[in-house]
Amino acid sequence: MPIRESGEMYLEAILVLSRRKAVVRSIDVGEYLQYSKPSVSRAMGILRRDGLIEMDRDGSLTLTDRGRAIAEMIYERHQVLTQVLMELGVEETVAAEDACKMEHVISDTSFQAIKRHIERYEREK
């Protein structure tokens, strides 16, 4: 079952937050994404049901292996696309916002081609 863009956003947020703090809770995700508590609660239920996150009795969120793989893929896309746009002269805030939109719709084929192009460009510098 394919994961929706919103699910990818939640997984990426949990990954980013887990790199900043030892314990990530739903409230942290909501604040980070600026989403309402009911929206976050519903999403956490869906992500748990789909086996992408685990929540302990204290409300601490952990990505499963599958959830982490998806989150890391989306985060890598975000980082690479942001960097490419900035290198093209786009201001950092705009580049990050645009990358956030692009990361969910770009095909793996196109993204891998962009990465290969960057690698060739970096070697030629």
pLDDT, one tens digit per residue, over 13-32 is 999 999 999 999 999 999 99
Which pLDDT belongs to residue 2? 63
Average pLDDT over residues 6-19: 96
pTM: 0.88
Strand ranges (E), 6-107:
53-55, 61-63
Average pLDDT over residues 101-106: 92
Distances, alpha carbon 68 to alpha carbons 53, 81, 93, 118, 120, in Å: 8, 20, 25, 25, 28
Which pLDDT belongs to residue 1? 57
57 phi, psi to nearest 5 deg: -65, -25
Task: With a cut of 70, say whether residue 58 has pLDDT above it.
Answer: yes
Average pLDDT over residues 80-96: 95
| Residue given tokens 């519903």 in the structure block | 42
Q: Provide the residue type at 9 as one letter.
A: M
